[in-house]
Structure 1
Amino acid sequence: MKKVLAMIGNIALYLGVFYALLYLLRSTYNYEVTLSFAKFLDRNPAMFMVVLFTLITLVYMLIFRIKGWIWPHAEKNLFRASGFKRLSASRVLLMIGLGLAGSLFSIGLIVIDDIARQFPSIPGLVDDMIRGDSIWYVILGAGLIGPAFEEILFRGLIFRELRRVMPVYAALLLQAAAYAYFQPSAALSVISIGSGLIYGSLYLRTGSLWAPILVQNTAMGTIFLFKYIGFYEWFDKLGDVSLYIITALCLAALIGGSVYVWRTSGNGGIGARAGQALTADAPSAAQKGV
């Protein structure tokens, strides 16, 4: 029961910090001294993400430090606790490839007319984020900082907490559901259940948060960069039949690549360590009196 309460408390703390700083940043519109800064963020929503997520990450770092001072055995470093571990060069290239497949899959959903009409929130999100003073603001915020923060929060922290109190596969499903819940539209939530499972499984099997971060950074960065350079218009000229085929193939590559990682990562990932921890925590047969 103690572990469950600790898990609930920690997740509530992480989300509470998120909402508190979101409210604080939005309140800059209410004061004359910060109004010009607020207007800059309003013109550049990607930079709003940069400021917000950087502040939240700094507070998370402080929280881990404070926990380390109070409880000597607690992890003191946010990034070590989240699983920022080195990937091999071959894994890095594979994650970039998965990110490109995810990017083309998403662009297909945007440029195929029938899908775009049925789910306007998908192209709408790209159009909203890409507006601003510079494409580099968009790449920095929506392509790099935003996805990295999502992985820290949902995989590095929330998934970490869930794994402590439930079977790892139940935690994998629950973190994907939580990730989907926080998306801005129903269509994006449905897509995010699948992507949350992929990101979580990559993290689980490689043991490194860099794996899903690389996939997300590559996918999101190229989605906005390709929009800026006019790639969408060229892609759209291929026609709906070709677009459907390419989009389906990219989805298959994304899923297939994730399955390949799952099957070739051996026993050194987070799942194995979680299983070892559960085994270590479980009372032995002698302790049970069996």
Structure 2
Amino acid sequence: MKYLKSFGLVILYILIHIAVMKSMEFTFYHSSLWEIESFREVIGENPHLPLMATYLISILIYILITKPIKNKSILEYIRFKKISFKDTLIAIYIGLGALIFNTSIINISFIDKAFPQFDNLLSFNYESSSLIIGILTAVIIGPLLEEFLFRGLIFNELKESIPLIPSVLISSLLYGVIFMDIPLMTFCFVAALLYTFVYIQVNSLLAVYVIDIVATLGVLVSRRLGIESVISDVGDIYMIPVFLFSIVMIVSGCYYLWKQKSQMTNTIDRSQDISVN
């Protein structure tokens, strides 16, 4: 019964977001509003507006339903809480590694040629709307919705009824599936594994959100400043080492978090042994 309840809630969380997304799609593109020329012009210039509305409404619904379902506020349940200065610095460090990774991978010639959808996705996410709308949607509200839904609600719900590793894998897979494209799905699945690992080590969703903001804001600003035109002709001989360096940054940041948690756990265990003796 416990498993059915958890998986039922996971399905509910996903269906809520899909329902809101479809409702906003109808409202913005198929309702009488679309017949208004000035409205069409605004949406044409800022295609993120329907997404922004979808994210905001979804977040509001999750906030409203978490209390009666879990008897906790959503911030308490998903552990969106203050983190230490040291953890903040490590989260920023990992976020910078993710920024370099995202920028370098699409400028490696054979990857860009084989998987143009990576660059297309980044172009839409960070360049298609005005600067303010882009920052609000792609940097602030979008990542917040993703963390609330996939790490905060879905992962935590699964973790309550099944072992940790399957919980990580299923929630990460669901995060990837939303893109309906195998290369993007794989990329986002790996990103979700990273985010969930950090979430587990720091025990605060705020750490993951910091990583997300650093990476997305960095990509948005760099692409708006024309970094693609600057490094497009650099060549793989330089981009591949940069790409590998970004992986080293991400892995070393994660290792530090793991080592820090292991040391903390050992300290607590020793303290408990001393108190028992």
Task: Give me the TM-score of the superposition, normalised by structure 1.
Answer: 0.84
1:40 aligns with 2:42: yes
Equivalent pair of 1:236/1:243 in contact (CA under 8 Å): no
1:2-21 equivalences under 5 Å are 2-21=1-20
CA-to-partner distance for each residue in 1:98-130, whole Å, 9 max, x for gaps? 111111111111222221110000000122233
SS, match of residue 83 in structure 2: coil
Amino acid at match of 2:137: G
1:91-170 equivalences under 5 Å are 91-170=87-166
- What's the Cα RMSD here? 2.1
Whose relative contact order is higher, 1 or 2, with alpha carbons under 8 Å and at least 6 apart?
2
CA-to-partner distance for each residue in 1:119-163, whole Å, 9 max, x for gaps? 000000122233445122112211221112111111000000110
37-46 or 99-108: bigger deviation: 37-46
1:222 aligns with 2:200: no
Unmatched 5+ stretches in structure 1: 68-73, 273-290
Equivalent pair of 1:49/1:142 in contact (CA under 8 Å): no
Unmatched 5+ stretches in structure 2: 269-277
Distance 2:84 2:142 in 1: 24
Equivalent pair of 2:144/2:209 in contact (CA under 8 Å): yes
Task: Give me the TM-score of the superposition, normalised by structure 2.
Answer: 0.88
Task: Tell me the CA shift for residue 179 of structure 1.
Answer: 1.3
CA-to-partner distance for each residue in 1:158-198, whole Å, 9 max, x for gaps? 00011011111221122111211122522121112221111
Equivalent pair of 1:109/1:115 in contact (CA under 8 Å): yes
1:253 aligns with 2:255: no
Give the one of 45, 52, 55 matched to 1:53: 55
Runs of 4+ in structure 1 off by over 6 angstroms are: none
Number of aligned positions between the proteins: 263
Give the one of 187, 190, 205 matched to 1:191: 187
Give the structure 1 partner of residue 31 of structure 2: 31
Equivalent pair of 2:126/2:219 in contact (CA under 8 Å): no
CA-to-partner distance for each residue in 1:4-59, whole Å, 9 max, x for gaps? 11101211111111111111101112222465556534532333322111100101
